[in-house]
Amino acid sequence: MTLPLDASVHDFSPGPPQQETSHARCWITRAANFVVMYMQARPGAMLVRDAQPDEYMVFCVDALARVRAGTEAATLQSGTLAIVPPGASRIDIEAEGTLVLLFSNRATDLLALAANAAHYEAGAPGVAPLADLPEPAGGFALRTYRVAEHRPTDGNMCVFRSRNLMLNIMLPRQAPRNTRALSPHQHEDFEQGSMALRGDWVHHLRYPWTKDMSQWREDVHMSIGSPSLLVIPPKVIHTSRNVSEGESWLLDIFAPPRADFCARPGMVRNAQDYPYVG
């Protein structure tokens, strides 16, 4: 068995941002196949991508922003997700707040800036490479989704995808998670990014055993606040629980999109734009 990397964790609040201007602070963390930017911005801040090679996602947590891509433009209010097409694009912040931006590993300029870039210098054993699903229906375009309008009537998951990224915008929890109703599981060949936006969390990790007992690792019970990002390697059993009172909010990130989620009717909330052929 190929041993997985250690999990990678980035607690944004104690350390300096990877990019900073007079109007914005940006923390950047990577996985094998994706890059996350957590952006706190004021009016006048902007993000410009002159030649983005593929789509990227912008989740407007509680800001107001204007996105331009080619001849298209859209306003992002709190709780809105945008999928921005390849090519030139620009984001202008119109009201103070937070955005989460998700890129594939083809955004090599951001890979180099990531706080944990050294973690992946020798590769990522056991992680399947990034792959593209078919182009969206009608071709590439600037697409926006008001998340509240797409939430299913049952469950706490709200999953969106592009060609090579998947974002699960979980329903915020209002009380600590029941320790008798956890969900330990593992993934065969892809990482999971668990991004805490609000609340205090404990991430529980159990690494696989091999025949060589000297390679065994103790279980991990990682306490961390928000904002933070944990990248969980393949084959590592994991589950997370919020432990603080009040609202706790977690996003899950995958690249490429999970085939099991894509194939499940009703799971991907923008499947009409990104039909799946398994």
> Looking at residues 183-197, what average pLDDT do you find?
97
CB-based burial, 185-203: b 16+ in 10 Å, e otherwise:
eebeebbbbbbbbbbbbbb
Nearest 5 degrees, angle CA 146-CA 147-CA 153?
125
pLDDT bucket at 278, cuts 50 / 70 / 90: confident
pLDDT digits (tens, 9 = 90+) for 210-252: 999 999 999 999 999 999 999 999 999 999 999 999 999 999 9
- Per-residue confidence (pLDDT) for residue 14, from 0 to 100: 85
Q: What is the DSSP letter of 248?
A: B
52 forms beta bridges with 87
pLDDT bucket at 208, cuts 50 / 70 / 90: very high
pLDDT bucket at 1, cuts 50 / 70 / 90: low
Question: Is pLDDT above 90 for 4?
Answer: no
Q: Which domains does the chain have, with CATH numbers?
A: 17-143 (2.60.120.10), 150-263 (2.60.120.10)
The mean pLDDT of the chain is 96
pLDDT bucket at 15, cuts 50 / 70 / 90: confident
Give the neighbor-by-neighbor strand order of the sheet with 249-254.
8-11, 228-232, 192-198, 249-254, 166-169, 159-161
Percent of the chain exceeding pLDDT 90 equals 95
pLDDT digits (tens, 9 = 90+) for 34-88: 999 999 999 999 999 999 999 999 999 999 999 999 999 999 999 999 999 999 9
Q: What is the C-alpha end-to-end distance of the chain, expressed in Å? A: 28
pLDDT digits (tens, 9 = 90+) for 142-160: 999 999 999 999 889 999 9
- Per-residue confidence (pLDDT) for residue 13, from 0 to 100: 85
- CA dist., res. 94 & res. 80, Å (int): 14
* C-beta separation of 95 from 62 below 8 A: no
